[in-house]
Structure formats: structure tokens, C-alpha cells
Structure 1
Amino acid sequence: MSSHVAAGGDRAVVLGASMAGLLAARVLSETYAEVVLVDRDKLTGETTYRRGVPHGRHAHGLVARGQQILEGHFPGLKDELSEAGVKCGDFSSDVHWIFNGRRMKPAPSGLDCVPAIRPLLEYHVRKRVQAIPNVVFLDRHDILGLESTEDGGRITGARVQAHGGDGPTVFPADLVVDTTGKGSRTPLWLAELGYDKPVEERVKIDLAYTTRHYRLPVDPFGTDLAIIPAATPETPRGAFFHRMPGDDGRVELSLTGVLGDHPPADPDGFTAYVKSLPIPEIHDAIATGVPLDDPVTFRYPASIWKHYEKLRRFPAGLLVMGDAVCSFNPIYAQGMTVAALESLVLQQHLRRDPVPAARPFFKEIAKKIAGAWSVSAGGDMGYAGAEGRKGLMTDFVNRYVARLQEAAVEDSVLTNAFIRVAGLIDPPQSLLKPKYALRVLRHRRRPPAALPPAAEPPAPQARDLAA
């Protein structure tokens, strides 16, 4: 096999064109003369699901803080998505948030909800990054490994190979950023260079998504964007039900189940699972629809946090971001937004040093991860069969949040406080502020309220299913 070396220079190499990789390339382009982004998939012009994002054909959410950061990196992105058929709205007043069969009382939160499906969002972000003159996309390339100095103290580049190529290519780089996701090989590469692997923290939840698409003759949403009966320990079967971009009656329904109670992938089993949800609206809606495909399942065994911030030694010229550091239970829709938060940290560190020191970088992104992890991993530990480390306050916080959700059926102030935490705008501990705790306690003294009726939607608009 032959090997050749690409021309060197003031270069950064990003491994993996995930959302984390695209955001890393965006901020690296401010510092480096050339940014090379490598991925095994075909990227240019791709608007559909791709192999490198196996969960991409299931419901995705970019929560409020992520939307704010993406709009900062790519001004006008929301308008582009809207022009592409994405109906935008408010995260609280325009979404049916349902916990244990009861809708939290909606009210305007001022937080943008842009419910683009993953392939569409990724396509528009990728197109923006491809338009940056000093960013080079190297798609359909396998990532083989890292190059380093003889003593392993510094990473000097990455080794890749084109599909069908005659040998590896070495790209010299001042900085390599690994954004290859859960399957990241950085721990193995570290071991080969004589470094310790990061300690892993896991929360096993054994989640499965099963997704199917329909065309409906009647719009079930009215002015709202989505109906989300969220999974809880009391009602562990959940769903994400929303419009697809455009106005042709297509909807996406992703069912969720944990700890082995997985939504079936056969059509009859899928429909029966829908009927078992704590609200009837979704089953009623799809009963009159035309399925557009067969159900497809994606399994997610465990959330994993690789604690790079705890390593005492780490080679210079290498950073890790996104799911390659921490992979969250996707039910909580945190992954893309935490990657966006990490991109801001990278941007700040690059302004101080074009080759950021790894330990300070990892310590700072760990702070961003910790808040999201406390919500998702802490919430998952509320399920009796979940496996993982439970914090001292986990049970108390889970009981308190459940009571807050119950109180929010009548109190939109609590709804919006919860939405701000779920959207990674405010830290989880903000829900314990006296102004919220008193409202929770006050509502606990009242008998449980019935699920409030949703606002009357406009008259249903019938569609021609043959269209």
C-alpha cells in the first residue's frame, strides 16, 4: 500500500462531520488557515438519512439554548429552515408537554422552537460550514488513526484513507479534534501512546425508539407544533408526534420505551403500543392516516460520560468533543445543544491559544456537561431497573420534579421554569428557588386537577390522501 503526505500548513483536522464536528469546524475556521473535516459518509448535497447518524431517522430536538447558539454561529439559520418548510413556534405555548397523562399549562416562554428533522437541520448547518472558504470537506474517507511525535507527547496529524483509495494519507495538523461520536477510538489511541484511558460513567436505561411516518387527512395539531407525552417512571411509555416539514400532511411518530419494554417494529404491534400511551389523541390521529413506511427501531443501551477532565496526562494538539465525550439518553434532546455549548468553549480557548491546552478545555466542557447529565442521568435513575451511580440528592430531586410537573398542570409559571431547564437555558438547581418551591408546595395542597382542555384549534383542514 502506498502512502503520501498532504501539503502541511496552519491546519486543524476535525474527525467526524457530526453536529459537533460541524460546529467545531465553524469556530476553528476563525483561527486556522485551513480546517479539514473528515467523514466516512457522502456529505455533499445529502438531504436524507445517513449511515453515520443511525438515530437520524427518529425524532430529534434542538432545545432552546442550542437554537440560540446555532443562530449565533449561523445568522439567519432559523429563517432558512422556515423557508424549507419547518413550522417554528414557542417551546411552551406551542407544544403539548404531557407528563403522566396531564398537559402542563402552556404560556409564551419567549424561547424559539424550530422542530427540523435531523437530516434537514444537518444539511443546512453543513451547507453553511461548506460555504466557509477555508473549510475543506473530505467525505467518503475512513479515519485510520493519529500521528504523533516519537515520544507521544504531541499529536501532529491524522491518518485517513479514501474509499477505494490506494493507501493512507497523512494530514499534518497543529490541532486534531475528535467528534466521531460514541464509537470514538481516542481511548484506544491514548492507550497505544502510553496514556490512561478516561474513566467511564454509565447509566444503563436500555432505551429503544421505534419510528413510523404517516400522511394524515386531518391536521391533529391545530396551531401547535407537537404532542409529546413524555416518558416518566409512572408512565414509562412515551412518544414524540410532530409534523414533517412542509404542508402535505406528513407526520413523524417516534415511540419510546425503556428497560426492555420496547415499541415493536411490526405494524400491528406498533399501533397497539400507540394505543397504550397515556393519552388517546395520537392513536386517534393515526387511525385515519396512511402509513408511509414500516416502523424502524433504534436501540440505545446506556448513557456514557468519558471523564477526560480527570486525566492527569494528555497529548498536546488533541481535543475531544460531542458524543465522543458524553452521549446522553436522546429522549432528553440534549446532545446537539451540549455540543453547541462546547463549541463556545472551544471558541473562547482558541482566542487565547490556537492549540488549547487539553486539561483546562476538558474541565470547562465538563461543567457544561454536568448540568445536562444531572437532568438526564438523574432522571433515568428514577426508573427502578436503571443501572448507574445515584447521587445523594437524586431521589429527592426526582420526587420534587414530579411534583413540579403535577403543579404545572395548573401553573404556567412552573411550566416555563421547567422548559427553561429542559432547554438548557437555566441550571437544574434553579427549579429549587423559593419562588418556584412555594408554588409547588401550594399546589400540592389542592386535589389533583383534571387535564385542562387544549385550546380549540382551527377547523380541521381535510387533505386528499391520494395527493
Structure 2
Amino acid sequence: MGHAVVVGGSVGGLLAARALSDRFERVTVLDRDRFPEVAAARRGVPQSRQAHVLLAKGAAALGEMFPGFAAEMVTSGVPVGDAHADCRWYLDGYAMRQAPSSMQCYGVSRPLLEHLVRRRVRALPDVEIIDGAEVTGLLHDGPARGSRGRVLGVRVRQDGADREIEADLVVDAGGRGTRMPVWLRELGYGEVPSSTVRTGLVYTSRHYRYVPGGDDFAVVMAPYPGMPRAAVIVRQDGDRVVLLLAGMLGAEPPVDDAGVRAYAESMPGPEIRDFLRTAEPIDEPVRMRYPSSVRHHYERMPRRPAGFVAVGDALCSFNPIYGQGITVAALEARLLADEPGRYFERAARLLANPWSLATGSDLRFPEVKGQRRMVDRLLHGYLARFRVAAARDAALGAAFLRVSNMLAGPAHLLAPHIALRVLRGARRIPVSRGGNPPAEVDLSGSSRI
């Protein structure tokens, strides 16, 4: 095939370019930002300084596209941890039992990950990366009304001059702020159907100096109904530890030292509170607002033009506290490598599981606005017992992590052998919640929590 243009040069766009380089003679990546020569945060990626981690599935996908990528991360100073043995997980306030596993996670910062991927993509002979180039519109074969039409390229403004770039395929990797739905509406294709789950998430990240000797690669305290707060600490490259505090539904995390310590005191376990007693900050907190998760359903459009696809947050943006974005972008890129022609239908099937996982967790909160099914109440009840039982049964923790690392779909948690472990749990299991003395939980009836 001929020429593909990727609109957006962040991680999702770069991975798309790598995938398309196997099918197209030329691939051009356009981004309005100026790319740094080293690993550094940039204005066009506002979440650059926020906490990041690469899931096991994402690391595997990157390794397929860039052989030796995991080793390259480690050589660059990225710490590696066992997602089960080296990470402390608090689910619904209960500490999940730890155990060795084969699931590795990588504490790679967003600037370093993007830098390593961009360096690999720049080295491809058929890919050109052009920064400082803003895409302002689409080239199209004529009025869309009554016909499918086709995208023929993009309009670009660079150094004060406008020009046109023709392409056989245009990839929208413009992130949450993409203009593609607006451009398609202006061309006469109507609205792009979308799903939205509003959480009102606000989160902050701050980096601290890493002091060797700590046992944990990461500590994750997930939110749950009645506790719309989350806290995460994870080791990152550069001998740092990043602290993420998040709040939903109006529970905004503070940025002052006293407020941060008080926020940590309210969390289920003592680890983050204890960490902050001696931690040395090396930068200032950075706050972000994430009002809702949004999924664009291009596959449901009655008509859409040929010659374009969308990837990453431009297609579906998830609640960031679940850490799915980069992994999903890598899996979408693999779809492009196979066959772009039926991409949107195949991407919809790919997105079904991670979207269900993320929004299902958010919709447990009665205050969160979004579409609910009749079966959700029963499912949430079962999963509540699952989380309690995982405090004692490491096999349940492993099942949870396989799903959260996107190595298995959510249905894995309902498999007969998993359900049996939940239902056959000891009648009264002592588990710790909220840093308080162990609570007695009756798994055969209603949980007293």
C-alpha cells in the first residue's frame, strides 16, 4: 500500500505508526508539539508527570513490536516487580494475599516510555516523524450525504504556512481532545455515537526520592463505595517513587503536605502513611481532572468515510486509575498490523472487556452517572465477596490480577473453579480492613463490613 498519516505522535500514534510500517510504503506522524531529544515531560501530554505503570499484557505487546524492549527499559533504569508478590493490593479496603506469579509490571514513567518508543520508531526507514505540525482538517472526496465518501489526507499548518498531505489512510491518534468527530459532522456524517461514564475524577502525582530497602514495588489502594478515594505508590525510573492520590465524586485530593498526610491517614492500609513520614519530595504535586470515561462507537455509525481509523484515547479513554490506556493502545496497533479494513468492528470487540472492567468498577458507586444493566447488582454482590475472599485465597488474587493485567477477560472471575473458591471460603475469615483490627466476614451470607 501507499502512504499512511498518523495524527498525533504520543504513545498511541507511535505504536500505530510502527504497526502500519509493515503494510505501507510510507508512514508520516504529525504532531503540533515539539519533541524533546531526551525523556522529558511535554506540554502536549498533560499527564506526562502523572503516575504510570506498564501492565504485563502491554509489555508483551510492545515486545512483539520492538524485540528486546523490556530489556531496553530495564537498561534505562526502569524497575520491575511481580504484580502479585511485590505489590500490595487493597480491594474494597481488604489487603489481598500476596504470592509469586509470572506477571511482571514495569514502573516506567510516561516521558521515558514515549522516548524509548519514539527512538525505535524514528529508526524505521519508512517512517517520518514531523513535529510542530498542526492538523487543521481532512481532505475528502466530496459531500458525504448519500454516499460513503473517503478521507484522502489532511490539512496541516506548519511554521505559519498551510499545506495538504495526501494519504491512503489517516489514523486519528489525537487523544481525548481529538477534532475528528467535529470534522466528520461538518462533512455531513452526523454525530459519532458515544458512551460516557461520569466519575468526576481528580488526581495528583508527586515524585519522591527512592530509598533502597523497601519491600514493595507498589502499593495500590483502590476506591470502593463509601470510600471514593484511591492512593498508589510505585517505583519508577530515575530512582524515584511516585505517589498518586485520587478522588471521585467531589473527593478532591489535596496538594499541601499536611493535607496529603491526612488523606493518606484515611486510606485502608498503613503503607502510604508510613512512606510519607520519611519520604523526600523532589518536585511539586501536579493535579489533573478527568470528568468522565468516553468511548466513541464509530462501528455504530450508519455511514462513515473509508480511509480513516482512530486509536488510543481518540477512540476510547478509560478512567486512568486502572492503568489500561497504553496497553489498549498497543493492542489496537496490533489490529492495524493485521488488516485496517475492518478495524472499527474488531476494535469494538477488543474494547468490550477493558471498557466493561473499568466502567463496571466505577458504576458500583450509586452517584456515578452511566448506563446500568439489571444483572449488574448481582454481579457486584458476587465481586464484593470475591474481593473479601482474595484477602485469604491467593488463587483469587491471581485471577483478579490476570484480569486487571488484561491477560484474561472479566468472565474469568466467574469461571466455575473461581466461583467455587469464593463460595467455599471459610464461613468466618479474619481479614484486615482500613488499618483497623481484623473484621469477621461471613462469606455464606451478608458480609459484615
- TM norm structure 1: 0.88
**Cα distance in 2, alignment partners of residues 75 and 235 from structure 1:** 42
Question: 1:155 maps to which residue?
Answer: 151
Question: 2:168 maps to which residue?
Answer: 174
**Cα distance in 2, alignment partners of residues 450 and 326 from structure 1:** 36
- Letter of the structure 2 residue corresponding to residue 442 of structure 1: R
Question: 1:286 maps to which residue?
Answer: 276
Shift of 1:268: 2.4
**Cα distance in 2, alignment partners of residues 186 and 100 from structure 1:** 39
> Following TM superposition, where does structure 1 have runs of at least 4 consecutive aligned residues deviating by more than 4 angstroms?
none
More displaced, 331-340 or 281-290? 281-290
Shift of 1:444: 5.8
Question: 2:361 maps to which residue?
Answer: 379
Q: Describe how 1:208-287 pairs up with structure 2 within 5 A.
A: 208-215=202-209, 218-219=211-212, 221-222=214-215, 224-247=216-239, 250-287=240-277
Question: 1:430 maps to which residue?
Answer: 412
Match of 1:185 among 179, 183, 199: 179
- Letter of the structure 2 residue corresponding to residue 445 of structure 1: R
Which deviations, in whole Å up to 9, do the C-alpha atoms of 1:220-251 show, x marking residues without a partner? Answer: 632x311111222243221110223144xx32
2:12 is the alignment partner of 1:30:
no
Which deviations, in whole Å up to 9, do the C-alpha atoms of 1:332-373 show, x marking residues without a partner? Answer: 111111111111111111xxxxxx43xx32111011111111
**Cα distance in 2, alignment partners of residues 375 and 414 from structure 1:** 16
Shift of 1:126: 1.1
2:383 is the alignment partner of 1:401:
yes
**Cα distance in 2, alignment partners of residues 268 and 220 from structure 1:** 26
Question: 1:201 maps to which residue?
Answer: 195
**Cα distance in 1, alignment partners of residues 213 and 247 from structure 2:** 23
Shift of 1:395: 2.0
Q: Does structure 2 retain, via aligned residues, the 8 Å contact 1:220–1:285?
A: no
Q: Does structure 1 retain, via aligned residues, the 8 Å contact 2:92–2:384?
A: no
Which deviations, in whole Å up to 9, do the C-alpha atoms of 1:435-466 show, x marking residues without a partner? Answer: 01011112262233347x9xxxxxxxxxxxxx
Q: 1:240 to 1:450 in 2, by over 3 A?
A: closer
Which deviations, in whole Å up to 9, do the C-alpha atoms of 1:405-428 show, x marking residues without a partner? Answer: 111111111111110111111110
Stretches of structure 2 lacking an aligned partner (at least 5 in a row): 436-449
**Cα distance in 1, alignment partners of residues 9 and 375 from structure 2:** 37
Question: 1:126 maps to which residue?
Answer: 118
Match of 1:343 among 333, 344, 348: 333
Shift of 1:103: 2.0
RMSD: 1.7
Percent of counterpart pairs with the same letter? 43
Shift of 1:111: 1.7
**Cα distance in 1, alignment partners of residues 213 and 220 from structure 2:** 13
Match of 1:365 among 347, 355, 359: 347
Q: 1:192 to 1:290 in 2, by over 3 A?
A: same
Q: Does structure 2 retain, via aligned residues, the 8 Å contact 1:267–1:294?
A: no
Q: Does structure 2 retain, via aligned residues, the 8 Å contact 1:147–1:155?
A: yes
**Cα distance in 2, alignment partners of residues 103 and 437 from structure 1:** 20
**Cα distance in 2, alignment partners of residues 438 and 166 from structure 1:** 65
Shift of 1:396: 2.0
- Letter of the structure 1 residue corresponding to residue 410 of structure 2: P
- Letter of the structure 1 residue corresponding to residue 374 of structure 2: L
SS at match of 2:35: coil
Which deviations, in whole Å up to 9, do the C-alpha atoms of 1:15-63 show, x marking residues without a partner? Answer: 0012211111001111111100011111251411112221221111222
SS at match of 2:199: strand
Q: 1:220 to 1:303 in 2, by over 3 A?
A: farther
- Letter of the structure 2 residue corresponding to residue 221 of structure 1: G
Q: Does structure 1 retain, via aligned residues, the 8 Å contact 2:84–2:98?
A: yes
- TM norm structure 2: 0.92
Aligned length: 430
- Letter of the structure 1 residue corresponding to residue 150 of structure 2: R
Match of 2:88 among 96, 102, 107: 96
Q: Does structure 2 retain, via aligned residues, the 8 Å contact 1:13–1:173?
A: yes
Stretches of structure 1 lacking an aligned partner (at least 5 in a row): 1-8, 350-355, 454-467
Q: Describe how 1:305-344 pairs up with structure 2 within 5 A.
A: 305-344=295-334
Shift of 1:256: 0.9
Q: Does structure 1 retain, via aligned residues, the 8 Å contact 2:94–2:387?
A: no
Question: 1:110 maps to which residue?
Answer: 102
**Cα distance in 2, alignment partners of residues 241 and 226 from structure 1:** 5
Question: 1:456 maps to which residue?
Answer: none
Q: 1:400 to 1:220 in 2, by over 3 A?
A: farther
**Cα distance in 2, alignment partners of residues 121 and 281 from structure 1:** 27
- Letter of the structure 1 residue corresponding to residue 232 of structure 2: F
Match of 1:392 among 374, 381, 384: 374
Question: 2:443 maps to which residue?
Answer: none
Q: Does structure 2 retain, via aligned residues, the 8 Å contact 1:100–1:234?
A: no
Q: Does structure 1 retain, via aligned residues, the 8 Å contact 2:95–2:432?
A: no
